[in-house]
C-alpha cells in the first residue's frame, strides 16, 4: 500500500469451498446494483440481483436505494421464497442491508430461530 494511504476496508472473510448445488434454488447469490437512472412509475433506482447457482438463472428485482431491510425481506419472500422455496445456501457480500436486521427479521417471518 502506498505510503500515506490508509486501508479503508475491513477484514476479509475466510475463503470457503462452495459445492455445486444438486437442485434448482438450493444455492443463490444476492447482490445489489446501485446508481441506476430512476425508471418506471415508481422511479426504481436500485436492483436486487439474485442468481440461482444451479440453473444460472438471473432475477433482477427493482427496488429503491432507500428501502429498509424489512422492504428487502418482503421483496425476497414475495418474489423468491414464494416461487422457489427457502434456499439452503444464500451467498451475499457484507452489504449493510444484508448484515443488519434482514436475516433476523427473515428468520422471524419464516418462523425459525437463528
Does residue 63 contact residue 47 with C-beta atoms inside 8 Å? yes
What pLDDT, on the 0 to 100 scale, is given for residue 14?
Answer: 77
Find the helix or strand (DSSP H, E) in which 92 lies: strand 89-92
Residue 10 has pLDDT above 70, yes or no: no
Residue 110 has pLDDT above 90, yes or no: no
- Domain map (residue ranges) of the chain: 27-110
What pLDDT, on the 0 to 100 scale, is given for residue 37?
Answer: 93
Instruction: Please list, in sequence order, all residues whose beta carbon lies within 8 angstroms of the beta carbon of residue 57, skipping any fewer than 6 positions away.
Output: 51
Name the pLDDT band for 92 (thresholds 50, 70, 90). confident
Domain at 27-110: CATH code = 3.30.420.10
**DSSP-derived secondary structure letter, 74:** H
pLDDT tens per residue, range 26-80: 999 999 999 999 988 899 999 999 999 999 999 999 999 999 888 888 999 999 9
Determine what percent of the chain is predicted with pLDDT higher than 70. 83
Amino acid at each position: 500500500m502506498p505510503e500515506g494511504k490508509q486501508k479503508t476496508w475491513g477484514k476479509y472473510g475466510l475463503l470457503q469451498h462452495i459445492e455445486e448445488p444438486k437442485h434448482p434454488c438450493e444455492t443463490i447469490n444476492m447482490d445489489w446494483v446501485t446508481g441506476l437512472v430512476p425508471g418506471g412509475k415508481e422511479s426504481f433506482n436500485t436492483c436486487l440481483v439474485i442468481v440461482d447457482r444451479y440453473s444460472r438463472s438471473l432475477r433482477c428485482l427493482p427496488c429503491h436505494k432507500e428501502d429498509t431491510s424489512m422492504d428487502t425481506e418482503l421483496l425476497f419472500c414475495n418474489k423468491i421464497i414464494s416461487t422457489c422455496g427457502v434456499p439452503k445456501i444464500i451467498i451475499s457480500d457484507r452489504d449493510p442491508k444484508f448484515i443488519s436486521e434482514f436475516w433476523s427479521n427473515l428468520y422471524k417471518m419464516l418462523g425459525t430461530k437463528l
